[in-house]
Amino acid sequence: MVDLAAIYSRHAQRWHELRRGSRVERSIPERVAELVPAPTCVLDVGCGSGEPIARFFVERGDTVTGVDLALPMLDVAREHLPTLTLHHADMRGLALGQRFGVVIAWDSFFHLGCADQRRMFATFREHTAPHGVLLFTSGLREGEGPSGDMFGDQLFHGSLDTAEYRAWLERHGYEILLHSLEDPRLDRTVWLARLAR
């Protein structure tokens, strides 16, 4: 099994430098900002160093909470975004006892295996405020295993198929607002959904 926490810990500073100032993904948080007025509370699950997603919401005046399994990533986030509330935790056991207007799992959720991804929808639901939005990235086809690398270290990715993601979202009360299949501008599949109740 790939030790993702160790990999992201080892490369925390390099990853931060790579992600800092990235504007490629900016269109997606801008879409979220249109749906949820500031200020709101934002939960960034697998926040890494906070670049560029958490930074976007901090800069628009939101209260942002970040969660990550790699402690060195949180150290970098704390240094560069000192207003973040940070938790060193595994998303699979997340229970913050708080609901957020925006819940994000950008390039983090897809590091889980399929069974863990299925269970995460209840966790997302527990942390999303009424009429709040959930934003996450996924793969395109069902499968899991070693895939891709980070500065030479093998990563792990998992994905359900599109129909199953839709079913899990609907089962937990989300209305799908955006599903962008392997968006060529973003090089990932993007899901955006609003909690309907």
Domain ranges of the chain: 4-19+38-195
The dotted CATH code for 4-19+38-195 is 3.40.50.150
What is the rounded distance in angstroms from the CA atom of residue 30 to the CA atom of residue 24? 12
Q: What is the dihedral of CA 142, 148, 154, 156, to 10 degrees?
A: -20
Which pTM value belongs to this model? 0.90
| Average pLDDT of every residue of the chain | 89
> What is the four-CA torsion angle of 137, 143, 146, 151, rounded to 10 degrees?
-20
Rounded Cα distance, 65 and 59, in Å? 14
C-beta of residue 54 within 8 angstroms of C-beta of residue 47? yes
User: What Å distances lie between residue 47 and 86, 140, 171, 175, 184, CA to CA?
Assistant: 9, 22, 26, 24, 23
Beta bridge partner(s), residue 193: 134, 176
Residue 16 sits at the vertex; the CA angle it makes with 103 and 55, to the nearest 5 degrees, is 40
Can you give the pLDDT at residue 27? 84
Whether the per-residue pLDDT at 15 is higher than 70: the answer is no
Q: Could you report the per-residue pLDDT of 115-167, keeping only the tens digit for each?
A: 999 999 999 999 999 999 999 999 877 888 777 766 777 677 789 999 999 99
Element (H, E) at 127: helix 114-127
> Which residues share a beta bridge with 99?
none
The gap between the terminal CA atoms of the chain, to the nearest Å, is 38
The first and second tokens of residue 173, run together, are: 């009360």
pLDDT greater than 90 at residue 169 = yes
